[in-house]
């Protein structure tokens, strides 16, 4: 059994609750445990994971949040930089499933977050599990 830290950017409560439900179900179904850590926004997720990765209690991480396109360039910065930060940590050998939704509107977020529909929280958790299994396989 592994212990995962779900790091969520709590901004859209309804969508985040759905993402967390999907992630928790996927982790529990695979026999793993999880804790949740909330950060202010998606840009803070990579930093929080980097700090928490030093804690031996966590074997892997699930990044969750929702970024909805607005009228300014801010969407591109948040979406791109949060993904870049997570990818950099993953390349350093940290098992992270990226479930940060980057969508155009609330309707897209709802479909992707809902465990009964696209279940992106569950997908991110399963990706983190898969990466952790690869790390074990290759002795990382």
9-13, 116-120, 127-131, 136-140 — which is least confidently predicted? 136-140
Q: Which residues are catalytic?
A: 74
11 in a known ligand binding site: yes
66 in a known ligand binding site: yes
112 in a known ligand binding site: yes
**Domain span including residue 55:** 3-137
Query: Could you tell me the strand order of the sheet in which 96-103 lies?
Result: 33-39, 3-9, 60-68, 96-103
DSSP 65-95: EEEE--SSTHHHHHHHHHHHHHHHHHHTT--
Does the pLDDT value for residue 70 go beyond 80?
A: yes
90-111: pLDDT as tens digits: 999 999 999 999 999 999 999 9
Q: What is the mean pLDDT of residues 128-139?
A: 95
Residue matched to tokens 């050998």: 93
Residue 68 maps to which CATH number? Answer: 3.40.50.960
103 in a known ligand binding site: no
Q: What total of structural domains would you count in the chain? A: 1
Q: What is the pTM (predicted TM-score) of this model?
A: 0.97
Q: What is the mean pLDDT of the chain?
A: 97
């Amino acid at each position: 059994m592994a212990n995962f830290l779900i790091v969520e950017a709590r901004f859209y409560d309804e969508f985040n609750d759905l993402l967390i439900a999907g992630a928790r179900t996927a982790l529990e179904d695979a026999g793993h445990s999880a804790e949740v850590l909330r950060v202010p926004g998606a840009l803070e997720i990579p930093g929080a994971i980097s700090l928490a990765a030093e804690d031996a209690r966590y074997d892997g991480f699930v990044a969750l949040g929702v970024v909805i396109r607005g009228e300014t360039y801010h969407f591109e910065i948040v979406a791109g930089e949060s993904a870049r930060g997570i990818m950099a940590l993953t390349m350093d050998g940290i098992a992270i499933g990226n479930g940060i939704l980057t969508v155009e509107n609330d309707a897209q977020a709802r479909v992707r977050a809902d465990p009964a529909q696209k279940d992106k929280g569950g997908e991110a958790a399963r990706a983190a599990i898969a990466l952790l299994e690869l790390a074990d396989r290759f002795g990382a």
